[in-house]
Amino acid sequence: MNSPSTRSHAYAQAVAAKRRQIWLGLLVLGVSVLFAGHIAEISPAKFFDNIGSFSSYFHRISHLENGQWVISDPLEWFWGWKKWLALMGETLLMAYVGTVLGAFAALVLCFLASKNMTHNTWLVFATRRLLEFSRTVPEIVFALIFVVAFSLGPLPGILALAIHTTGALGKLFAEVVENVDMKPVDGVLATGANWLHKVRFAVLPQVASNFASYALLRFEINVRGAAVLGFVGAGGIGQTLLEVIRKFYYADVSALLVLIIATVMLIDAVTERIRHRLLGQERAG
């Protein structure tokens, strides 16, 4: 039997072991931080020196050329609003077209990537690796490559968004398809249906609202993505943003940032409402 003293001894030992583990972890972390700081050429002093320059940068982007606070003269602040809104519209359209293309490709590929729909193990494996590759390579890298192949403009940006969307949605769609109730599938197959009938009448009704919800979520993400694709010349508002930041047009920087943030928040709010309705329908139905 354990006497109270040996038990408390065991407890003290367990605590000490845990403490040793934590200290060891902290030591490893500390060494790697020092090493990282050395490689990235950062010292704490450098960090504190630059806090002041950031606040002065913030001061400059929040004031107009004449030294007035930007909000005092919105028309002067958003002087280029016609051009900027058109660019923002182009950005949204790029995100939309990219999402639709990607969602369509994902819709086709997800059935090939789910074990309960495709019985050829190799095909499932190959499709999954393809999807994984498309979502692991960042879309801006695809955009860089496509800009060389397709030349500058929105087209390479859209294709980059579409490929990344295919990878991300294909995985999510396949997971939904693998979780469907197989009874309707058996029922439809029992009537002599072919593969297409099976998908259309047994699977799609079960997964459609989830698919739409995921696609909308991806659209939100793609709006953010499309806003920066212009940095590498792949269309949208990013190109203009890059210029005004690089050329130190301070008030324009804040105007464009406000425009982008407001648009992203608006899109988020709208798609969130639609998604809630979609999922609500599913629960009711």
Partner 1 sequence: MSTVHTKAQEALRARYPQHFQAVYRGRIPAFLLALLAVVIFAFGVHSLDMSYGRIVGGLGELGSMVLRMFPPDPGSWHRTGIYTYAMLETLAIALLGTLMAAIAAFPLGFLAARNTTISRVVQFFARRSFDTLRGVDILIWALIWINVVGLGPFAGVLALFMSDLGSFGKLFSEAIEAADDKPVEGVLSTGGSSVAAVRFGILPQMLPVLLSQVLYAFESNTRSASIIGIVGAGGIGLILSEQIRTLELQEMSFVILLILGTVSLIDWGCARLRFSIIGARAL
Answer yes or no whether residue 158 interacts with partner 1 by CB under 8 A.
yes
Answer yes or no whether residue 136 interacts with partner 1 by CB under 8 A.
yes
Whole-number minimum distance, CB 155 to partner 1, in Å? 5
Which token pair is 41?
């050429």
Q: Which is nearer to partner 1, 4 or 52 (CB)?
A: 52
Answer yes or no whether residue 140 interacts with partner 1 by CB under 8 A.
yes
Q: Which is nearer to partner 1, 117 or 252 (CB)?
A: 252
- Nearest alpha-carbon partner for 257 in 46, 113, 61, 110: 61
- Beta-carbon contacts of residue 121 (< 8 Å; ≥ 6 apart): none
Q: Which is nearer to partner 1, 120 or 281 (CB)?
A: 281
CA dihedral 247, 248, 249, 254 (to 10 degrees): 120
Is the separation of the CB atoms in 165 and 103 below 8 Å?
yes
Whole-number minimum distance, CB 101 to partner 1, in Å? 9
Is the separation of the CB atoms in 138 and 215 below 8 Å?
no
Answer yes or no whether residue 13 interacts with partner 1 by CB under 8 A.
no
Is the separation of the CB atoms in 222 and 165 below 8 Å?
yes
The residue within the footprint of partner 1, chosen from 26, 27, 148, 182 (CB under 8 A), is: 148
Which token pair is 130?
């393809």
Answer yes or no whether residue 266 interacts with partner 1 by CB under 8 A.
no
User: What are the beta bridge partners of residue 69?
Assistant: 63
One-letter amino acid for residue 230 of the chain: G
What phi and psi values does residue 143 have, to the nearest 5 degrees? -60, -45
CB under 8 A: which stretch of 3-11, 51-59, 115-123, 181-189 binds partner 1? 51-59
Answer yes or no whether residue 46 interacts with partner 1 by CB under 8 A.
yes
Indicate the helix (H) or strand (E) that contains 41.
none
Answer yes or no whether residue 32 interacts with partner 1 by CB under 8 A.
yes
Whole-number minimum distance, CB 119 to partner 1, in Å? 27
CA 258/CA 261 separation, integer angstroms: 5
Answer yes or no whether residue 257 interacts with partner 1 by CB under 8 A.
yes
Binding site for partner 1 (CB under 8 A): 29, 32-33, 35-37, 39-42, 46, 50, 53-54, 57, 90, 93-94, 96-97, 100, 136-138, 140-141, 144-146, 148-151, 153-156, 158, 224-225, 227-228, 231-232, 235, 241-242, 245-246, 248, 253, 257, 260-261, 264-265
